[in-house]
Amino acid sequence: MPTKPTKPEAEKTSTRAVNWGDFREHLATADKDGQRRWLYPRKPVGRWYRWRTWMSWVLIAIMFAGPFIRIGGNPLLMFNLIERKFSILGRIFWPEDTIIFAVAMLIFFAGIMIFTTAFGRLWCGWTCPQTIMMEMVFRKIEYLIEGDSHQQRALDAAPWNFSKTTKKVLKHSVFFLLSFVIGNTLLAYLIGSDALLRIITDDPRQHLVGLTFMILFTLVFYGIFARFREQACTFICPYGRFQSALLDENTMVVAYDYKRGEKRAPWKREQRLDLRQSEGLGDCVNCRQCVAVCPTGIDIRDGIQMECVNCTACLDACDAVMDKIGRPRGLIRYASLNGIEHGQPLRFTARMKLYASVLTGLIALFLILVFTRAEVETMFLRAPGAMFQTMANGRISNLYTVKVVNKSSRDLPVQFRLENAEGGITVMGAPTFVVPKDRVRQASVLVELNPTHLTGRTTKLKIGVYSGERRLETVSTSFVGPR
C-alpha cells in the first residue's frame, strides 16, 4: 500500500534529488556491495517511547513470570512438545484435542488477519517479544554502556584500548547473561518450570539433552540480539512479509503526511512561517531526525515499507521537531492512506467486519469445545493377537488394553462397567485404577460375558467409565466369542 505521492507528484513537490524506486531496490541495512550496514539508531525520546516503555515492562514481567504462574495447579502457558502436553490459561490439552487445536490455530490466523487489516503492524511495535527485547532491553543496555548513536559509532571506529575493551566485554557479558535468562524462559515454556528447575538443580549428567537446549537457546538469542537484530524482522519473520496482502488504504499504519510535509526544505531560523507556506514549502524541514532514530534504518517519508516495525520512534522524533518550529505534532503519525489523502477517520470496513464475524464464530466454537470437553478420554482396544477364552465358570473372556487420559486437574479413581450386557470387568494387576491429573494411564483389562449375551461371533459392547457413581463417558468396543 503506497503512502507516498505518485512519481509525477513527487517530482513536483520534493526538493531533494531522489530516485523514487531507489529505496525499493536496496536494503537500508546493506551497502551497494551487499555488505551489512550496521545501524546506530539514535535513542528515542518522547511520549510514544515512554508509553511503549511502560507497556514493555508489563509484557516483560508477564513473559518471564508466565511459566511459573499456575492456574489450578497447571502452568498459565506451556507447550511441552516432548510429552505432547499443552497448557493454555491453566487448562491442559493433549494431542487427542486435535479439533480444539485446529480451531485455536484458525482463531490465531483469523485474529492476525483482522488485527493486521485494521491496525497494521501495531503488534510488531508494541507487543512482539523480538521488538520489546531488542528495543526496550538490549538497546537500552547498549545506550547505557556505550552511549548514544554518535558515541557508539565513535567507539566502533576507535582503536582497541582499555576503555573500548572494557565497554565491549561488559556489554556482551550482560547480553549473554540476558540471553541465558531468555533461553531458560523459553525452555520453561516448552518443558514446564518444574522440569527446568530439575535440570538446574540435578546432576547435569542426567539432563544432557535439556542442557544442550539451554546452551543452544542462549547462543541463538545472543546471536539475535547482539548481531542479527533488525534482520530478524526483515529476513526471518514471515509476518512482515504478508503485510502487503492484508493492508489496504484504510489500515492504520505509521505514516508520513506528505500532503502537509511536502515540499520539504530546511528550516531557516529567520524564516517566517507564513512566508514559508506562501513559498509552497511544507512542514518537513528535512532534518532526517526520523531516519536517525529508526531501528531498521528506513526513511518513512518514502512511504510504508516492509522493514517498518511501527516502533513509533520516528513519531517522537518528528513531534520534537514540530514543537521546535511551532508547528502541530503529527507530521508522522498513526493514520491510514485515506486519512492522509482525504482526511477520513479510521474506519471499520466491510472487510474487517467479515473477518470479525468469522473470528467471533471461531471463538464461540472454541469456547464450546473447551467447556464441553470430557474430563477423560478412554480408548478400549482388544489386546493384539489375543483370542477369546472360555473360563472355568463358563463365561467367555476377552483381554483389552485400556488407555485413560485424565484431562482434569485432580486424580481420578476410575471404574469400568458393562452397560449393555451382563458380565464382569477386571483391571489386571491393581485393585484400584487411579489416573493422576494431567496424565495418561494404561492397563490390561479382562472382560467376561455370559455366553447367553453373545450376539454372534462379534458382540458390540458399551462400557461406562465411572469415577465413583459419576459416569464420565461411555466407550464402545467389540467382543469376540465362539460362533
Q: Which of 63, 186, 188, 284 binds ligand SF4 (CB under 6 A)?
A: 284
CA distance 245 to 222: 32
Are 403 and 435 in contact by the 8 Å Cβ rule? The answer is: no
Our finding on whether 332 is near ligand SF4 (CB under 6 A) is yes
Residue with the three cell numbers 546432576 = 203
Judged by CB, which is closer to ligand SF4: 318, or 340? 318
By the rule CB under 6 A, 331 interacts with ligand SF4:
yes
Which region among 110-118, 187-195, 283-291, 366-374 touches ligand SF4 (by CB under 6 A)?
283-291
One-letter amino acid of 365: L
End-to-end alpha-carbon separation of the chain, Å? 74
Among 3, 117, 310, 397, binds ligand SF4 (CB under 6 A): 310
Q: Is residue 312 a contact point for ligand SF4 (CB under 6 A)?
A: yes
Cell matching residue 375: 474430563
CA triplet 243, 247, 249: central angle to 5 degrees?
Answer: 150
100 vs 332, beta carbon nearer ligand SF4:
332
Q: Tell me whether residue 15 or residue 450 sits nearer to ligand SF4 (CB atom).
A: 15
Quote the CA–CA distance of 371 and 10 in Å, as a whole number.
57
Shortest reach from residue 292's CB to ligand SF4, in Å: 8
- Single out the residue of 74, 289, 378, 406 in contact with ligand SF4 (rule: CB under 6 A): 289
- State in angstroms the smallest separation of the CB of 188 from ligand SF4: 31
**Alpha-carbon gap, residue 258 to 269, rounded angstroms:** 23
Q: What is the H or E stretch that residue 334 is in?
A: strand 332-335
Which CB atom, from 196 or from 292, has the smaller least distance to ligand SF4?
A: 292
* Residue 321 binds ligand SF4, judged by CB under 6 A: yes
Residue 184 lies near ligand SF4 (rule: CB under 6 A): no
CB 88 within 8 A of CB 77: yes
A 10 A CB-CB count for 201 gives 8
Is 260 near ligand SF4 (CB under 6 A)? Answer: no
What type of residue sits at position 364?
A
Q: Does 304 bind ligand SF4 (CB under 6 A)?
A: no
Task: Name which of 265 and 454 has its Cβ closer to ligand SF4.
Answer: 265
Residue 381, φ and ψ in degrees, nearest 5 = -120, 135
C-alpha distance from residue 96 to each of 102, 106, 357, 382, 435 (Å): 11, 17, 28, 20, 16
Min CB(68)–ligand SF4 separation in Å: 33
Q: Which is nearer to ligand SF4, 198 or 260 (CB)?
A: 260
- List the grid coordinates of 187: 525452555
Pairing of strands 412-418, 389-390: unpaired
Return the residue of 85, 207, 301, 395 that touches ligand SF4, per CB under 6 A. 301
Say how far apart CA 333 and CA 316 lie, in whole Å. Answer: 9
CB of 310 to ligand SF4, least distance (A): 5
d(CA 263, CA 275): 14
Instruction: Select the span of 18-26, 92-100, 307-315, 451-459 touching ligand SF4 (CB under 6 A).
Output: 307-315
> Which residue is listed with cell 508494541?
126
With contact defined as beta carbons under 8 Å apart, do 365 and 461 qualify? Answer: no
**# chain residues binding ligand SF4, by CB under 6 A:** 29
Map residues 218-257 to x or -, x wherever contact with ligand SF4 holds by CB under 6 A: ------------------------------------x-x-
* Site membership for ligand SF4, residue 118 (CB under 6 A): no
- Report the nearest approach of ligand SF4 to the CB of residue 216 (Å): 30
Q: Where are the alpha helices (DSSP H) in 95-204?
A: 98-119, 122-126, 129-131, 139-146, 149-157, 162-191, 193-201
Q: Are 387 and 480 in contact (CB under 8 A)?
A: yes
Using rule CB under 6 A, residue 285 touches ligand SF4: yes
User: Residue from 77, 214, 300, 337 that binds ligand SF4 (CB under 6 A)?
Assistant: 300
What gap in Å lies between CA 233 and CA 240, rounded to an integer? 7
- HSE-CB at 101 with a 13 A cutoff on CA atoms is 12
Figure out which of the listed residues 214, 309, 421, 454 binds ligand SF4, where binding follows CB under 6 A. 309
287 near ligand SF4, rule: CB under 6 A: yes
The residue among 28 and 447 lying less far from ligand SF4, judged by its C-beta, is 28
Q: What does the alpha-carbon distance between residue 312 and residue 273 come to, in Å, rounded to a whole number?
A: 27
Q: Do 186 and 81 contact (CB within 8 A), yes or no?
A: no
Is 309 or 359 the residue whose CB approaches ligand SF4 more closely? 309
Provide the minimum distance between the beta carbon of 273 and ligand SF4 in the complex, in angstroms, as a whole number.
14
When asked if residue 314 is in the footprint of ligand SF4 (CB under 6 A), the reply is yes
Element at 381 (helix H, strand E) = strand 376-382
Counting contacts by CB under 6 A, is residue 340 touching ligand SF4? no
Q: Which is nearer to ligand SF4, 164 or 288 (CB)?
A: 288
Judged by CB, which is closer to ligand SF4: 104, or 247? 247
Contact region with ligand SF4 (CB under 6 A), list: 55-63, 243-251, 282-290, 430-438: 282-290
Judged by the rule CB under 6 A, the positions of this chain that interact with ligand SF4 are 254, 256, 261, 284-290, 293-296, 298, 300-301, 308-314, 317-318, 321, 331-332
